[in-house]
Amino acid sequence: MGAEAARQALASTDARPTAVWFATADPAYLEKTNATTIHAALRLDADVTALDTGSAVRSGVGSLLAALRSRDSILVVASDIRVGLPTGADESAQGDAAAAILVGDDTDGPVIAEYLGGAQRTEEFIDRWRTPGDPRPRQWEEKFGEVKLLPLTAEAFDAALKDAQLNVDQVDIAIVTGPHTRAVKGAAGRLGVKKVADDLASAVGQSGTAHPALLLANALEQAEPGQVIALVSLSDGVDVALFRTTDAITQYRSARPVAQQVESSADIPYGKFLMWRGMVHVEPPRRPEPDRISASVSGRSEDWKYAFVGSRDRSTGALHLPPQRVSREGGAQDEMEAAPMADVRGTIATFTIDRIAYSPSPPIVFAIVDFDGGGRLPVELCDVDADSLAMGRQVEMTFRRLFTADGIHNYFWKARPVRG
């Protein structure tokens, strides 16, 4: 999800970051940096830093504020898979999401929202916690957190207004969010801002680390020039940032706006959800589990595996997926140029449903995809309703985890039917 959000962020601008910061409370790896995977999927240069923040929900908004206060151009990616035991309040109130925000200045590219100022308040108190590996977050009695968070919010908001040299009437819209529903609701009512943004609680659910960036992205997708937006996040303290949209926002087009994604969403059966979450173990196909991938082979094919880059024969134009050294047409050797295909759409030439192959989500739907402008690949489909699938359907590529073996996640690309 983080890689997908990051791709979309960079799709809407020519600006490129000098660093990628990845924040999540549910990292795919410990020890190993997760941001490097996003770095590879985006095909960023080696001199672009990739750094994980995370473990706490607050790291998402915290990274954003830190980026806003730095002088670098930083892609902040906040992503979260929200855990919770079946039938619990966390399970129903939360949702998974990722959002990416590219922070920079006029020298990097058009700025669509200017950072005016902000403030933070921190205090140690036990409100919500989870030990590593435990799928169940726990919470102290709600009123305690509320009592702690509300005064901190008032303080931080006032300080932020002061930092930005604004008064509250100048704020057009406030985004108020945090895992503590009751405190968030109370805080939103007390800020005195004329409009409080929809917190997407019913459409997406509270997405933890990702939520502040997600709501900010949603607000910017709907904003007009000159609007002042306050981002107020309550989690182990309070973070406030104030923005004013610029004229450039009229030129801003999100690759996949939040509202559009909500609109085109589909239901998944509860049983499947529990299976994906690892809450129920289902009978796998009676086939051997896949072997772990090779680090050195993956290293050699970094551009192909992570960024979906094929090779194109300069003389004949023949496109090769995966990249080859010798051309299929004409046989020229080492006359290839890189062919980035991640953003190229394709058409389903033929497809099938495989009921016996190993998959974390059987059955696998597989298609032979012919890409616009050449190239073919047999590839797994995702986010697909097999019954409505047909030859000729358009698909787009999306970065996914295929399986995990020996603790190594096998990331590669799948195709998904183009929506709407």
Partner 1 sequence: MASHGIKDQVAIVGMGCTPFGEHWDKGADDLLIDASNEAFASAGVDKETVDAYWLGTAMSGMSGMALARPLQLSGKPVTRVENFCATGAEALRNAAYAVASGAYDVAMAIGVEKVKDSGYQGLVGAAKTPTDGTGRTLTAAAMYAMCAPAYGKKYGVSDEEVREALARISVKNHYNGARNPRAQFKKEITVETVCNAPLMAGNLGVYDCSGVADGSAAAVIVRAQDAHKYTDNPIYIKALSFIAGNCSGNADPGYDYTWFPEIHASGLEAYKQAGVTDPRGQIAMAEVHDCFTPAELLIYEDLGFAERGTAWKEVIDGTFDLTGDIPVNPDGGLKSFGHPVGASGLRMVFECWTQMRREAGEQRQIKTDKRLALSHNLGGYPGEMVSFVGIYGPDLG
Binding site for partner 1 (CB under 8 A): 286-288, 290-291, 293-294, 296-298, 300-301, 304-305, 320-322, 328, 349-359, 364, 366, 368, 370-371, 374-380, 391, 402, 410-412
Three-state secondary-structure class, residue 414: strand
**Distances from the Cα of 372 to the Cα of 212, 213, 255, 328, 411, angstroms:** 37, 33, 19, 18, 24
DSSP designation for 418: P
Report which secondary-structure segment, H or E, holds 151.
helix 142-164
Closest distance of CB 361 from partner 1, Å? 12
Closest distance of CB 401 from partner 1, Å? 10
**Cβ-based nearer residue to partner 1, 221 or 370:** 370
Alpha helices in 286-369 (DSSP H): 295-300, 302-307
Closest distance of CB 307 from partner 1, Å? 12
**Cβ-based nearer residue to partner 1, 264 or 350:** 350
**Cβ-based nearer residue to partner 1, 86 or 373:** 373
Closest distance of CB 253 from partner 1, Å? 31
**Cβ-based nearer residue to partner 1, 189 or 284:** 284
Could you tell me which of 21, 61, 57, 418 has the C-alpha nearest to residue 217?
Answer: 61
Amino acid identity for residue 11 in this structure: A
Closest distance of CB 256 from partner 1, Å? 25
**Distances from the Cα of 319 to the Cα of 96, 338, 370, 380, 417, angstroms:** 36, 10, 11, 20, 22
Closest distance of CB 310 from partner 1, Å? 9
Closest distance of CB 419 from partner 1, Å? 24
Query: Hey, what are 172's tokens?
Result: 């057009």
**Cβ-based nearer residue to partner 1, 143 or 325:** 325
**Cβ-based nearer residue to partner 1, 161 or 377:** 377
Contact yes or no for 344/397 (Cβ under 8 A): yes
**Cβ-based nearer residue to partner 1, 191 or 307:** 307
**Distances from the Cα of 9 to the Cα of 36, 304, 385, angstroms:** 17, 21, 27
Query: Hey, what are 152's tokens?
Result: 């901190």
Contact yes or no for 380/398 (Cβ under 8 A): no
